[in-house]
Structures are given as structure tokens and as C-alpha cells.
Structure 1
Amino acid sequence: MTGNAHTPNTKVVVIGGGYSGTLAANHLRLRGNLDITLVNPRPKFVERIRLHQAVTGDYDASVDYGTLLGEGIRLVVDTATRIDTDARTVQLASGAELDYDYAIYAVGSTAAFPAAVPGAAEFAYSVAEFEHAQKLRQRLEALHPAAPVTVVGAGLTGIETAAELAEHGRNVTLVCGGRLGPALSDPGRRSVAKAMRKLGVTVLEADTVAEVRADAVVFADSAVRPSAVTVWTTGFGVPDLAVASGLHTDEMGRLLTDETLTSVDDERIVAAGDCAAPSGEPLRMCCGTATQLAPQAANTVLSRIAGTEPAVLEYGFAGNSCTGLGRRAGLLQFGRQDTTPVNAYLGGRVAASLKETICKGTLWGIRREARKPGSTPWFKGGPRPEEPALAPKVVEET
């Protein structure tokens, strides 16, 4: 029998099984006497940073949770619809409820289609979620390779999607809305433009899409361009669970937290990943941020259980970004910690190899945390919880 006969195990529910939620659940195993439940709408983990590869049909972006979760973590395949902070329950779409002592809010982010662009939500596709990528893949499989494909948005997601589709023989136009790769340096931007020309991508840097139709896009100057499929890659949205639960959020719906990632409404709810807005200053929405916030959110919970003061968030984003330009080329843009770029980059096959290493390494890090909780580093040397939070599991023989 696991646990102390007189003290029930502390129940921690992790809501969301993406990079942040899965890593946080594994990290919680630093303390033995916890009942850890991970709630996720899908039965498999999704490599979100590879969804642009999944749409071409030659990469499976889903991974069995059995290879990622540490022993003893319970997976519940369901969707959280509301957190009842008074009753301390997470209500699920199936009608079931999960009791919790602490909850880690890691619901992530999703696509956002602008209401100001008619037809975007109705006709455009996305690569923000697994189901979105599947839908786009099915649509592409029904099209002739020469059919015009329009990718709207020239941030890193748009660039990767356009390059991937073009490398697989698609007739791709990339609409930048003002600037190709706005987060890149000028030398990095020129490198991406060169790669796009080599792949045959038509880059419309200054143009802006004002309307999406089933078979075309309409530009701000009223020009109409045929588009058999339009992929929208600009902006993020956040699931409305926090709003539905009556918790304070920012204008996008991210949960407002203090600098320990604790909800400003309830110290038993701790956030991590894209859905968190610590001290009203949300961090960059990306995998690199999610994997940093995960162990810190878990350690905040462990500290509270131990009765010690949680550590203040330490964020060590290096400022670098690595972008795939198909499978044979890439771009590593060097940058400052505030995410502004410097005029230095690494390109070509070396960057592509590095990008692949990063993608594989992300899963490797989650698996390592499952095998050895606490192995994920705290960037900038942030402190761990006090020793009582790391107490070993108590096992009683019956």
C-alpha cells in the first residue's frame, strides 16, 4: 500500500498534456506521496513543433504517453471544462469530476483566426493543433500538386510551413503582411528569402490578406488570387478554461499569476506554458518557454505542500530561434535574452541538423524527467524547493 495510513496522499491534477504539462507531471514525482493525474483531450502526446511536417503525410507527430510519463502517473483522456475552486474539483466534458489539492494549469495555446478578416475562420486551415494538421493533410491529399496553396503569416510557423509544403512539391505563396520573418535579423531574413527562392516559394512581403474565400484570397488592395487551400499561421489563442472557471486572465485569456506562477485568485492553482501570464507579463509562447516553466510550476506546488516559500520564476530564454526550411536546410538565428536578434546566424544543412536534434532532444528531456525526476535544469540557477518537498515515498507492507 502506498502512502501514510494516517495522511492521505496529496492529489495533484495537471490539466493539459503538452510539453509543459507532461514535463511538470514527471517533475512532481520528486515527492513520493502524491497522486498525480494528467488530463488531456487526446490519448497521445502531440509533437506540436513538428505539426508542419505532419501535414505532408510523412511524419507522425503523435507519441505514446506510455513512453513519456513516469511510473504512477494516471492519464485521463478527457477535456477539462471548468475548475471549481471552492469544491476543488476539475469538471470534465464526460461529466466526471476529479478532486484536487493542487492543480497545474497547462492547457497551452491554439490557433486564432481574426474576426476582422472575413472567411478566415470558415475557410482557412491551421497547423496549431493535431486535428488541424490532420484536416489540412486530408485537404492537401485531395488536391493536384500544382494547385495553389497560400500560407498567410511569415513568422517562424509560416516560414516552416511554406518551406515544408514547397519541398514536397506544392505550389506555395507566402503572404507576409509587411515583412518576412519579423523576428529575424536582416542577414537571417536574407538567408530565409534565398531558401524560399530555391524552394520555389512565391514571397509576397508587403501584401496583406483582407478576406479568405473557399478558392481564393483577397488582398487589401482588392486583388484576388486563386488559392485551393489557405493556411493561417498568424497569432495564438488560448483555451477558455480559466475564463469559464471565473479566474482572472489577461485580454487573451492567459491565467494571471504572480512570479511563482501561482494564480492571483487561488494559491492551489499554478500555471505553466503558453496559458500563463506571470505578473501580467506573459512570456514568449514557444516550446522553449513551456519546458522552462514546467519544472518551476511543479516546484511551486512541491514547496506549498512542504510549507516552504515557493521560488520566484527564473526565466533564461537564450534569445536564439531555430527554424526549419524544409528537411535539408534551416536557420539558427542568434539573439539576446530579450529575444531581439543579433546580426549572426547559422544556416543550411548544419542548422537543419541542429533543428532535428532540438526536436528529438525535447522528447528525450521529457523521458529523462520521467526516469529521473529533477533532471530538468533550472535556468539561471534558480533554487529548488526545500528538502522536505523531496521526501521519499512511504511504502507500507500489508
Structure 2
Amino acid sequence: MTGNSHVVVIGGGYAGVMAANRMTMRDDVTVTLINPRPDLVHRVRLHQLVGGSDDAVVAYRDVLAGRVRLVVDTVTRIDAAERSVTLASGGTLDYDYLIYAVGSGSAEPSVPGAVEFARPLATLEEAQRLRAVLDATPATAPVTVVGAGPTGIETAAELAERGRRVTLVCGGVLGPYLHTRGRRSVAKRLAELGVTVVDGSGAKVTGVTRHAVRLADGRELPSEVTVWTVGFGVPDLAARSGLSTDAVGRLLTDETLTSVDDARIVAAGDSAAPSGQALRMSCLNASPLGARAADTLLSRLAGEQPDHLHQGFYAQCISLGRSAGIYQFANRSDAAVWLHIGAGPGARIKELVCRKIPQHLSGEARKPGSYRLHRMPGGVAKRRELLRAHPAEEPASADRAV
């Protein structure tokens, strides 16, 4: 393929920045990154923003390649036929190839009162608003965190470590991803911090009011500030643009991360659903998927067959305040195993992970093509096993004419 190609990346999170940086490997490619904010949101530190120990942002000048043009705006529509995107500011941008990396945010809660009285925590703006509310609330006021995944656990621990009266409502089990041993370790640390953990079948939230959280078993928990960390949703940009999505709204792709509708569009990060079997929404998968999406386009530009997706390493890392944490190991099916590292060593590993994410991005900015974690051996057989067990409709060929 000859001539200059323009690649537009929608979304400046971990996946989008990794993909944009990697595309600068070719001198005949120009890259535009469109993002609604002028800085990278360091999402794995949002709970620290709420607790006051970090601002959870990284300047793009520190992680984005100099050849990548940053446009601070929001894409409102993708016109695949015209190969253009419409911006909220009113303009349009043409592209030759598009990388769809819009990420994820808070899922719209269906529980009565949650929209009005609970505070979500999936975006920078939500975390900033929650921080302001907490700053204006007496330290002795009861705080209820709903949702016992990583975000809920981390937020509960962070606030309790700073002297807040925190109740963590699980809606089921504490840390559903964790192995039983890891769950016990987390429960012990939360107890040490004074967090009241409400779990079990009766711990499902049925209503939220201005000053309380109601549970399925009839209990009513006093709550001056209710933090909502239940589930993630994705922007509906792909669906609004007439592109095929899964039931959640993620862009449907084949195993090369290419849209089933258009070979010039690839997806990465939380908003991608390869073969209808999306990877777990996490920072662990975001950067590798960004690199894989870029590699797909780079292969096409070189006239080569793109590699299929595989992920050879899984784990979950959770902070439990500033002095403790847990690193939960998992197998290649992304299921937690008995092995974990907790307490102080777990906290140090978590901090190392948080530091490494922007380092990986800046490393790719300085030397595009240097990131290799998405090419770790293993994972291919497990991915094939998953696809055989959960077959999706056969997508159109990724090698159709472009």
C-alpha cells in the first residue's frame, strides 16, 4: 500500500494511547487522537483521587508520541461509508483507518433512587465530584460503598484508612473474581481498617434514599454518602453509528480486532468484543489490546495477514489502602487460583503496576514497537477453547477489500 494514510483513534485511555503511539512506527502514517479531556485519566488511581492521595491524571506530553496530533473533542458519530467522524464542536475529520477505543464508564443503575442519590466512580469527573462531596461531609458521617469488585474494595479501604465510617455492600460475595484464600485475606484487611462488610444473598441493594441504603433482606443502612461502583457500561457511539455491537454495546470484531462491518475499523480496550467474547474490562487488557489493534492495521498496511488475538497472562491487583494490597494470580482462562500476594508486598506490587502503565505508554511513544506484552507466549489454545465452547456467528472476512 502506498501513499500517506491517516489513522484516527477515538479515545485517549490506556488502549487508545498505546495504539496511537504504535501507529507512528510507519513514516507514511499520520495519527490523530481524539479525546474529550486534555490529559490522560490514570483510571487505576481514581479511588486515590477520592481519598486525596493522587490526582489520577497524567499529562499527554509525558505519554503521547510527538507525531500524534491530539484533538480535545468528542466524537458524536462515525460515518463508515464516508470514512469520517463528526465532532461535538461541529467539525468533521476524515480517516483512512479508525481505531475505536472509547473505553467504559459507569453502568446506568436500575435500582430506585440510585441515579438521584448515589455517586458513581468510573470517570475523572465523577471521582472529582465525589471528592468534593466527601470534603463537605463530616468525617464521622456514615459512608456506604455499593459493589464489592476492585473499585468498591479499593474505595472502601481508601476512605476507611482516612478515618471514614465505611460500610461495603457486596450484593453477593466479596471480590467475586478472587480465590477463596484471596477473599479471606481481603476481608481480614478490611476488618482491620474498620470497614463493615455486608455480604450474602440478602445484601442486594433494593433502594437508595438521600440518607440510607435499603437491602433485600429488609435492612436499612444509614448513609450520608453512597458510592456506586456496580458494573461498567460502554458509550453507545458504535450503535448510534450503525455498527454491529454486542448486547453491552461493545464493537463486534473478529479475532484480529477488526469490525465485522468494516475492515478499516478496529477496536481496542473495554469497548471491543472480539468474536462476541470480550476480554475482562481491566487495565491489564487495555494496553495489550491497543497494541494488538495497531498491529492489525500495521500488518494490513504492509500487505501482511494480521495475527489473531491471544492473551497469555491474567491476574487482578487491588490496593487496600496505602499500606496493603493483594495481587491475585490467575490461570490462562482468567480464573483466580489459590496463589496470591497480600499485605505490604501486595501494596508494593499494586503501586509498581500503577507506575508501570504510564511507563509502558511513554516507552512506546519514544520507541514505537517496543511494547511486547501482548505477544507473550501462551493463551492461543485457551482462546480457541473459549470460542469453541461459545461459538459466535461467523464474521465477514477480515481480509475483504480495503
Specify if TM > 0.5: yes
Q: Which residue of 2 aligns with 1:130?
A: 124
Answering whether residue 295 of structure 2 is matched by residue 299 of structure 1, we say yes
SS of alignment partner, residue 82 of structure 1:
strand
Answering whether residue 22 of structure 2 is matched by residue 15 of structure 1, we say no
Cα deviation, 1:157-194, whole Å, max 9, x if unaligned, reads 11111001111111100001121111111111111111
CA distance in 1, matches of 2:149, 2:246: 23
Answering whether residue 270 of structure 2 is matched by residue 278 of structure 1, we say no
SS of alignment partner, residue 38 of structure 1:
strand
CA distance in 2, matches of 1:302, 1:320: 29
Q: Which residue of 1 aligns with 2:264?
A: 268
Q: Which residue of 1 aligns with 2:162?
A: 168
Equivalent position amino acid for 1:373 in 2 = P
Q: Which residue of 2 aligns with 1:252?
A: 248
Equivalent position amino acid for 2:348 in 1 = S
Q: Which residue of 2 aligns with 1:49?
A: 44
- The CA deviation at 1:57 is 2.2
Equivalent position amino acid for 1:327 in 2 = R
Q: Which residue of 2 aligns with 1:95?
A: 90
Give the conservation status (yes or no) of the 8 Å contact 2:9–2:98: yes
CA distance in 1, matches of 2:207, 2:311: 39
- The CA deviation at 1:238 is 0.3
Question: Which of residues 356, 361, 369 in structure 2 aligns to 1:366?
Answer: 361
Give the conservation status (yes or no) of the 8 Å contact 1:113–1:120: no
Q: TM-score scaled by structure 2?
A: 0.91
SS of alignment partner, residue 55 of structure 1:
helix
Give the conservation status (yes or no) of the 8 Å contact 1:14–1:25: yes
Answering whether residue 376 of structure 2 is matched by residue 379 of structure 1, we say yes
Cα deviation, 1:19-55, whole Å, max 9, x if unaligned, reads 0000110011111111100000001000001100001
CA distance in 1, matches of 2:126, 2:306: 38
Q: 1:323 to 1:382 in 2, by over 3 A?
A: closer
CA distance in 2, matches of 1:212, 1:239: 25
CA distance in 1, matches of 2:155, 2:31: 36
Q: TM-score scaled by structure 1?
A: 0.92
Answering whether residue 338 of structure 2 is matched by residue 343 of structure 1, we say yes
Give the conservation status (yes or no) of the 8 Å contact 2:24–2:30: no
- The CA deviation at 1:307 is 2.2
- The CA deviation at 1:113 is 3.0
Give the conservation status (yes or no) of the 8 Å contact 2:284–2:314: no
Answering whether residue 35 of structure 2 is matched by residue 40 of structure 1, we say yes
CA distance in 2, matches of 1:58, 1:29: 34
Give the conservation status (yes or no) of the 8 Å contact 2:212–2:223: yes
Q: 1:382 to 1:167 in 2, by over 3 A?
A: closer
Give the conservation status (yes or no) of the 8 Å contact 1:36–1:73: yes
CA distance in 2, matches of 1:283, 1:367: 24
CA distance in 1, matches of 2:342, 2:318: 9
CA distance in 2, matches of 1:245, 1:100: 15
Give the conservation status (yes or no) of the 8 Å contact 1:331–1:345: yes
SS of alignment partner, residue 86 of structure 1:
coil
Count, aligned residues: 376
Cα deviation, 1:181-239, whole Å, max 9, x if unaligned, reads 11111111111111011100011112111111122111112322211111111111000
CA distance in 2, matches of 1:381, 1:194: 34
- The CA deviation at 1:382 is 10
SS of alignment partner, residue 282 of structure 1:
coil
Structure 1: 5+ residue runs without aligned partners?
1-6, 384-398
Answering whether residue 180 of structure 2 is matched by residue 186 of structure 1, we say yes
Q: Which residue of 1 aligns with 2:390?
A: none
Equivalent position amino acid for 1:42 in 2 = R
Q: 1:382 to 1:159 in 2, by over 3 A?
A: closer
Question: Which of residues 202, 211, 216 in structure 2 aligns to 1:215?
Answer: 211
Q: Which residue of 1 aligns with 2:114?
A: 120
Equivalent position amino acid for 1:208 in 2 = K
Equivalent position amino acid for 2:170 in 1 = C
